[in-house]
Structure 1
Amino acid sequence: MTTTEPRSRMTGIGRVLVIVYAVMALAATGRSFVQIVRSFDEAPLAYTLSALAAVVYIVATLGLIFAGRRGWYTIAWAAIVFELAGVLIVGTLSLTMPELFQHDSVWSVFGRGYLFVPLVLPAFGIWWLRTHRPSARVASPASEVTA
């Protein structure tokens, strides 16, 4: 017999948030792969940052999907806060020190190439995590035994 947990996190806006993160993960992965394979030597910093963004979006997507399970809520928080810091730092540097970014990365100019979705997405992710904390259930040994 298995117990089912409520899936309130994966309905409505939560589902849309996960889908947008998954799309960003696919887009950033595809972009970084093409950039690295075709011309890594032209802009290694920008292309490495695109690959890092892809990993962050993948981890954030998984974190949001499994946030009700042990540890994943914290992983989702870490990934989304890292994403926000990355977007703000890379966005600022790409404007103030453009010589570092001869080619755009996913987070360049605050995600301009992705219609600024990388700038607003972590704000929604943080809001969602704050308003949908996992319940603080304590598992008793008796509840773990199945008949």
Structure 2
Amino acid sequence: MPDDRTLGAPAQPGSGTPGAARVLVALYAVFALAAGARAGVQLATRFDEAPLAYLLSALAAAVYLVATLALACGPAGRRVALAAISVELVGVLVVGTLSLADPAAFPDETVWSGYGRGYLYLPLVLPVLGLLLLRGSRRAAGPTGR
């Protein structure tokens, strides 16, 4: 079994986040699978109904997958995880706002529609938790962030 540093945990033991890092990686993996499966079915069977929504769901799945893999790499994947999670947060905020401001532009839900209301708002909470975890792991790793 890999040690905690390979699962996105801080390099220093006793910081209290290895378990949180594992849970976060698991949540991102579940979201990658759920969003990817949903987008795959929608793109294959109903693409012409709401292409923008379905392509955004596929983008969300790709972002979740990249975040999952980067977080699982631990300190080595920190920068990629930070970028993926930042893109995710911007995506949730932009798509969430646009889907509420102009519902006609989104005839079907995306993962990020209404700030993730179809997924109990977890798409909005998940990047915040991810960024907090990455911030904590950087502090625990020391002033250089390595």
Please classify the TM superposition score into its range, dividing by the shorter chain length: 0.7 to 0.9
- Number of equivalences: 133
Bigger RCO of structures 1 and 2 (CA < 8 A, at least 6 apart): 2
**Per the alignment, in what secondary structure is the counterpart of residue 121 of structure 1?**
helix
Distance of 2:145 and 2:127 partners within structure 1: 27
Q: 1:116 to 1:137 in 2, by over 3 A?
A: closer
Is the contact between residue 67 and residue 76 of structure 1 (CA under 8 Å) also seen in structure 2?
no
User: Quick one: which of 107, 111, 134 aligns to 2:112?
Assistant: 107
Q: 1:92 to 1:132 in 2, by over 3 A?
A: same
Unaligned runs of 5+ in 1: 139-147
Q: CA RMSD in A?
A: 2.0
Indicate the structure (1 or 2) with the bigger Cα radius of gyration: 1
Q: 1:64 to 1:97 in 2, by over 3 A?
A: same
Deviations 1:59-93 (A, max 9, x none): 00011111322xx2111000000000000000000
**Per the alignment, in what secondary structure is the counterpart of residue 110 of structure 2?**
coil
Percent identity, aligned pairs only?
Answer: 53
Q: 4+ residue runs of structure 1 moved beyond 3 angstroms? A: 134-138
Distance of 1:137 and 1:75 partners within structure 2: 14
Aligned pair 1:66/2:73, yes or no?
yes
Aligned pair 1:16/2:33, yes or no?
no
What is the TM-score of this pair, normalised by structure 2?
0.85
Deviations 1:37-61 (A, max 9, x none): 1100000000000000000000000
Partner residue in 1 for 2:50? 43
What is the TM-score of this pair, normalised by structure 1?
0.84
Distance of 2:4 and 2:68 partners within structure 1: 19
Report the AA paired with residue 128 of structure 1: L
Unaligned runs of 5+ in 2: 10-16
